[in-house]
Chains A and B, each alone.
Chain A
Amino acid sequence: PPPLPRDMATPARDGEAATGTTIMACCFDGGVVMGADSRVSTGTYIANRVSDKVAALHDSIFMCRSGSAADTQAISDYVRYYLAAHTTEVGRAPTVKTAATLARRIAYENKDQLLAGIIVGGWDAVQGGSVYVVPLGGTMMQMPFAIGGSGSTYIYGHVDAQFKEGMSRQEAQNFVKKSIAHAMARDGSSGGIIRLVTIDANGTEREYIPGDELPYGP
């Protein structure tokens, strides 16, 4: 019989670091806000309490990582490389959809070996701000906002109640910060600080919210 699917809290190998995690991305009028907590755990030990789970794939395209830290770092390295090569060939900035498709190809073709939940978001000249989620099996879905990681289960109600279309930049930032803070308050595998990346036509802006200044909790 086929092996039972592994759940996200169980690492692939003993002692492997997993980003327990809460990740989130949300479109606003003119761009995208991406956010993540900063806890990396090995079992119940916090290996890194201030990690950066929002990885840059290109100037205006970022990727939130959840699942196995090793797998997602490797995937982001590959996508970064392929995207750079593609950009050189095509001669103009890549689209978010392209970056997401590259991530999806890797996640899908290696689905038996990988434990990676990814959210790709950014700004391009074709669609403006967009968010694509690539969960465990290698599906790819474009969404107005996306949440992922173990902490996301605790905030589905919250985000469903609080999300609205056509938010402003500030509203989207507050929405992401508050949602992640709520998830960090209840998920043992999420915590630490919140790193926020806001991407629009003019570039990217990074924000750091310390663990004692969260909008809610811990």
Chain B
Amino acid sequence: TVGDIKYRDGVMLAADTLCSYGTLAMFKDAKRLTTVGDNTLVGAGGEYSDFQKIQHMLEDITGDDRNYDDGYNHSPSEIYHYLRAVMYQRRNKMNPLWNNLLIGGFKDGEAFLGSVDMIGTAFTDDFLATGFGAHLALPILRKRWQPDMEEGEARELLEDCLRVLFYRDCRALNKVQVAKATAEGTIVSDPYTISTNWSSASFMQNAGNLQGDGGW
């Protein structure tokens, strides 16, 4: 899952740092959020090797921007449309890049947020989530998202979403990264661990007792 939201200063993305191999949690510090120049962030779920390929393609674009040195850099919206074209073209060749991408960015005072999936479906919104997050995080975001949230509020909201995902998604981890795109540029945090609650009284009850119903 990757989740992202627009907030007062720009856009914030969050994802955990797990890369699974079937049921095996193989890489627990995988970086799933990347910057594209000073304006754009891309986060991915799905096949990690395909995401690395996409990162190379985006690095080429960033490199071109730098080399042209004409004062113009690609905007988040342009990166989004480029990725949509790439994903859709691969879909047409029946050989998709198996990713669900979230593109967020901030340029010229405008925040941008878009999603492109492995078959090229593309849309934009104020808050988005991929994977399991589409089922578990979106309802939370729908309830609690407001326009112009402070950075602290936005981060807490995303962390709460990732916490629920860690509770309820078999392929999730409690180690996460957060990234933001604002007028100051783009930045991706180091991975850090989010807190979890396992101490409610009802959790600690033992259901397997003799008098029990054989249940949970």
Q: Which residues of A contact B (CB under 8 A)?
A: 9, 20, 39-41, 43-46, 48-56, 58-59, 62, 73-74, 76-77, 80, 150, 154, 185-189, 191-193, 195, 206, 208, 210-213, 218
Q: Are B208 and A56 in contact (CB under 8 A)?
A: yes
Q: Across the two chains, which residue of chain A brings its CB closest to B28?
A: A185
A/B interface sample: 23 pairs, CB < 8 A: A9-B23, A20-B23, A20-B170, A41-B170, A44-B132, A44-B171, A45-B169, A49-B168, A52-B208, A54-B208, A55-B212, A77-B214, A80-B210, A150-B23, A185-B28, A186-B24, A187-B24, A188-B20, A193-B203, A195-B206, A210-B198, A211-B198, A213-B198
State whether A193 touches B198 (Cβ < 8 A): yes
A197–chain B nearest beta-carbon distance, Å: 8
Which B residues lie within 8 Å of A55 (CB)? 208, 212, 214
**Inter-subunit contact B216/A48 (CB<8 Å):** yes
Specify which chain B residues have a CB less than 8 angstroms from the CB of A62 in the assembled complex. Answer: 208
Does B204 count as interface, using CB distance less than 8 angstroms? yes
CB within 8 A of B23: which of A54, A74, A189?
Answer: A189
Please judge, given known A-B contacts A50-B203, A73-B214, A211-B198, whether A56 and B209 are in contact too, CB under 8 Å: yes
Size range of the chain B interface in the assembly: 20 to 34
CA distance in complex: A189, B132 (Å): 15
* Bitwise interface map of B from 169 to 202 toward A, beta carbon under 8 Å scored 1, else 0: 1110110000000000000000000011111001
Main secondary structure of the interface of B (DSSP, over half): loop
Bits for B140-171, please: 1 = Cβ < 8 Å to A, else 0: 00000000000000000000000000011111
Question: Contacts A52-B208, A62-B208 known; A188 to B23 CB distance under 8 Å?
Answer: yes
- Encoded as 1 (CB less than 8 Å from any A CB) or 0, chain B from 9 to 26 comes to 000000000001011110
Q: Which of B61-77 contact A (CB under 8 A)?
A: none
Closest-CB distance, B205 to chain A (whole angstroms): 8
Do B199 and A206 have beta carbons less than 8 Å apart?
no
Report A58 CB to chain B, min CB distance, Å: 7
Residues of B with C-beta under 8 A to A154: 24
CB–CB B170/A45 < 8 A:
yes
CB pair A51 B216 closer than 8 Å: yes
Most A-side CB within 10 Å, residue of B202, B205, B212 = B212
The 4 A-B pairs at the shortest CB distance, nearest first, are namely A210-B198, A55-B208, A50-B203, A52-B207
Answer yes or no: B215 CB below 8 A from chain A CBs.
yes
Q: Kindly list chain B residues whose C-beta atoms are within 8 Å of the C-beta of A51.
A: 207, 216
A188-B170 contact in complex given A80-B210, A193-B203, C-beta closer than 8 Å: yes
Query: What's the least CB distance linking A121 to chain B, in Å?
Result: 13
Residues of A within 8 A of B206 (CB): 52, 54, 195, 206
Q: Which residue of B lies closest to A211 (CB)?
A: B198
C-alpha spacing A62/B209, complex, angstroms: 9
Residues 28-58 of B contacting A (Cβ, < 8 Å): 28
Decide if B171 touches A212 in the complex (CB within 8 Å).
Answer: no
CB contact under 8 A between A188 and B24, given known A48-B216, A56-B209, A76-B214: yes
Contacts of A53 in B (CB 8 A): 208
A133 to chain B, nearest CB (A): 18
Distance of A213 from chain B, by nearest CB (Å): 8
Question: B173 to chain A: which residues have CB within 8 Å?
Answer: 218
CB nearest neighbor in B for A53: B208
Asked if B208 and A39 sit within 8 Å, CB to CB, the answer is no
Assembled-state Cα–Cα distance A189/B207 (Å): 20
Q: Which residues of A contact B204 (CB under 8 A)?
A: 208
* Apart from A39-B170, A73-B215: 16 A-B pairs, beta carbons within 8 A: A20-B23, A44-B132, A44-B170, A45-B132, A49-B167, A51-B216, A56-B209, A58-B210, A73-B214, A80-B210, A150-B23, A187-B23, A189-B23, A195-B206, A210-B199, A218-B173
